[in-house]
Amino acid sequence: MSIMQLESLMTKQAEREYLAKLGDAGAQHSLGKPFSNEDCGLTLSSIGTVMALMPPAPANILDLGCGGGWTSIFFAKRGYDVTGQDIAADMIDLAQRNSEINAIQHKAQFVMGDYETLDFTESFDCAVFFDSLHHADDPQLAISCAYRALKSGGTLITHEPGEGHSTAPWSIQAMEEFGVNERDMPPHLIADCARTAGFRQLRVFPMQHDIHEVFYGAPPPRLFSRKGLRLARRVLSMLFTPNMRRSSIMVMMK
């Protein structure tokens, strides 16, 4: 067994043990998402944006790396038929419990499996990685599995952190404490994997926290000041030249 294969086995096992290490407090936090998040408002904005980019309900949705299932619940409440996937058995149990609490078990089912080896074939109208692809050992395998799972004309949506995520203090802490992957997952990397898998019509959108910082943050500076010109360039970049290195939402068509 190679070192890379051994490291992959270790990180996948760490993902399976993640919830157990978090304990009851972690499970309760997961059940309360997104309202238990400190950045609840931005998280709600983000999931709303993702849902606005999805095909209209009813449609079949594959929620990849769903964890405790809060994203699946949002999708199901909107009228989608959802299959949530996670690698950890206790996360799947928690997601099923979450669906019962929210009375949407008739619209959502949960399956345990590795999103790098799933065997779904042309079963879904849309697949979503919401803050989960950056935990992958091999993003190419994960995106290729999503491609196979989609019907012709299906949509893949990713909501992932960009460059710098892996070196952020909270990411380093998570890797040291739990042994999980915390990768940079910028648009240029996702785009390369998506094109290799066969996706077309790739589009890149700014994250809600960037939009919030620009438009809802501190009072805007004077237009022709240095700070004002930097802000203007950033706004123009959001509109016309997506940053392929920052955190992003991406939409890809099969």
Phi/psi at 120 (5° precision): -65, 145
Q: Is the pTM of this model over 0.85?
A: yes
Longest dimension (CA), the chain: 60
| Mean per-residue pLDDT, 88-114 | 97
In order of their start, the domains of the chain are 3-253 (3.40.50.150)
7-22, pLDDT tens digit by residue? 687 899 999 999 999 9
226: which 2 tokens? 């240095």
> Residue 85: pLDDT above 80?
yes
Which span out of 1-5, 60-64, 215-219 was modeled with the highest average pLDDT? Answer: 60-64
